[in-house]
Each structure stands twice: as C-alpha cells, then as structure tokens.
Amino acid sequence: MNNPPGTGSAGGPLLAVHELTRRFGGLTAVAGLDFDLHAGEVLGLIGPNGAGKSTTFNMIAGTLAPSAGQILLQGNSVGGLPAHAMAARGVLRTFQHNCLFAGMSLRDNVMTGMHVGLASNLLGVIGGIARVRTAETAARARADELLAFVGLADAREQDVATLSFGQGRLLETARALAGDPKLILFDEPAAGLAPAECERLTDIIEQIAARDIGVLLIEHDMRFLLGIADRVVVLDHGERIAIGLPEAIQRDPAVIKAYLGSTRGVPAAGGTHA
C-alpha cells in the first residue's frame, strides 16, 4: 500500500525476528519463527487459535522473554528487554481489551503515552523550572493534535469512562502514537468494532504507515487484515506456514488446510474489507 515490501527507508529492516522460540514447560508455543518488517509497512500476523500469534506479539512487546532466538530492532538486539524498555526504544502497542487509565481525561491518557519524552529530573518539576513547564505545554498541544487525528478532539477533557469501546480503541491508538513510535503493535484492533469503526481504523492505520512507522497487527478478522496488510505471516502450531502478499496467502494450500475446520474460513479471493 505504501512501501512495497523489502524497501525500508534506512536500508535494513526495522524489525527482524530470527529463530524466535518460546516454550512453556513442555509446550513449544512459537518454534523458530523468522520474519522482518520494514518502516512504513503493515505486516499482518494471522493463524488459527493457539497458533502462537499472541506469544509472538508479547515477545516483541517485551511482556514475555523469548526462550531462544533474536529480536532485532534496527539491527540492535532487543529480545528479552522488559515492556517499558521496548516502549522507550519506540515499540508501542495497543491492547485487545482496551487498557485505558480510568479516572483520567482523554488528554491525560495521551499525555501519559509521552512519558519517555517528558520524563526529566524530578527536582526540576518540584522547582517548577521553565523548561519543564514549556515541555508540558507542548505536550498538551501535541496530545490535542493526536486526539484530533483519531477524531476525538471534542472529547479531550472528558473522562475515559464516557467513551464507547470503539472510541477507546481510537484513544489507545492516539496514546501509542504519543510515544513517538518506530513500530506500533496492534493486538486484534478490529475485535469488537462496528463496520464503520473498522473503516475509520483502517484509514488511521494507513495514515500511520504513511508516516514511515512500521505496523504489526495480529488479527482474527481476515477481511479486515487482508484489506490492510502489505504482507501477511501465517502461523500454525507455532510455526510459519506461509508469508507473502495477501492475495497469494488466500490461495496458499497450506493456509487453506490450516484453516479448514476452523470457524473462520479464508474469505474468497479478492475479498476486501467492506
């Protein structure tokens, strides 16, 4: 959609995953997974239930440490770093079940997403020095811009409790953008959304990718995913069974076989998001 696969802005891939493996006791949830993702690319990660999508997602987000293998961000090994360290390196995420900060306004939620950029010496905060106050004012303006970007500008002073589920998802997107991401991870972004909200989110994700930010999404909703992804990685039983363009994935015999008997079949070729 934006950059054809394989053409990152800085040459090498933004994210590279090599032989990534995660074992839980005797169960191998992810086994030797390989893929890469370039800046400005939307990469979809799909597979039947239990395929290892969430485990992969959590390893990249820093909430699970890999058992083996490498995660490289712009060539630097980041596997096993905790979640807050991944965020500080520009890997931001959204949650499948919205995880907003209750009792805070929309604006404060987004400003919380700017933590890494704003964090400074606490003595400066206590002293009320000018630099801290300027940064806070700029952050507020930036938060309002981001809220306008996702279409929530009018609600910026409201408490998050007033939002619908779909609006919450948009707020999570704005909050992730606030962290100045190189890579955004979306955890089933279409889950629970009405068709119109899905369309709005598709539009926003495309604009994010157009800003040269890498996007990794794991998704159950195939129509949504195939309509938005530049490339797709298909997992089954922790292994990559296919990788490629959405059109090719839909015709891949291994993919069709993996999905047979699953409640969500592969939609007909050419099926795009309505």
Partner 1 sequence: MKSLLQAALVIAILSAIGFLLGPYHTDIYRKLLLWIALALSYNFLFGVAGQVAFSHFTFYGVGAYAIVILVTQAGLPLPLAATAGIVLCVLLALAVAIPATRLDGFYLALATLALAQLFIVFLNEGGELTGGSGGLTSYRLPDVGGITLSGPRYTVVIVLLVTFTWILLARIDQSWFGRACRAVRDNPQAAAAMGIDVARTRVIAYALTSALAGLAGMVYAFVDNTVSPPIFGLENAFLLLFMVIIGGSGSQIGSVIGATVLYLLPFVLSPLIGHHHALVFGVVMLLVILAQPRGLTGLWAARPWRSR
Residue 101 sits in the site that holds partner 1 (CB under 8 A): yes
By beta-carbon proximity to partner 1, the closer residue of 110 and 266 is: 110
In the chain, the amino acid numbered 269 is A
| Tokens linked to 143 | 């938060």
Q: Which of 10, 99, 148, 161 binds partner 1 (CB under 8 A)?
A: 99
> How far is 241 from 266, CA to CA, in rounded Å?
15
Out of 7, 63, 134, 262, point to the residue binding partner 1 (CB under 8 A).
63
* Phi, psi (rounded to 5 degrees) for 176: -70, -40
Smallest gap from Cβ 77 to partner 1, in A, equals: 19
Shortest Cβ 43–partner 1 spacing (Å): 19
Count of CB atoms situated within 10 Å of the CB of 135: 15
Q: In what order do the strands lie in the sheet with 239-244?
A: 91-93, 183-187, 214-218, 42-46, 231-236, 239-244
From residue 58, alpha-carbon distances to 91, 233, 267 in Å are 12, 16, 27
- The piece of 56-64, 69-77, 222-230, 237-245 that touches partner 1 (CB under 8 A) is 56-64
Q: Nearest approach, Cβ of 87 to partner 1 (angstroms)?
A: 3
> Least distance (Å) from partner 1 to the CB of residue 164?
19
DSSP symbols for 213-259 = -EEEEE-S-HHHHHHH-SEEEEEETTEEEEEE-HHHHHH-HHHHHHH
User: 213 or 222: whose CB is closer to partner 1?
Assistant: 213
Task: Report 210-269 residues binding partner 1 (CB under 8 A).
Answer: none
Which span sits near partner 1 by CB under 8 A: 55-63, 205-213, 236-244, 251-259?
A: 55-63
Does position 87 bind partner 1 by CB under 8 A?
yes
Q: What is the DSSP string of 36-79?
A: EE-TT-EEEEE-STTSSHHHHHHHHHTSS--SEEEEEETTEE-T
**What is the C-alpha separation between 200 and 228, in angstroms, rounded?**
12
Is 15 or 226 the residue whose CB approaches partner 1 more closely?
A: 15
Least spacing, CB of residue 213 vs partner 1, in Å: 16
Which residues 114-133 are close enough to bind partner 1 by CB under 8 A? 114-116, 118-120, 122, 125-126, 128, 132
Contacts with partner 1 by CB under 8 A lie at 61-63, 82-84, 87-88, 92-93, 95, 99-104, 108, 111-116, 118-120, 122, 125-126, 128, 132, 136, 175, 179
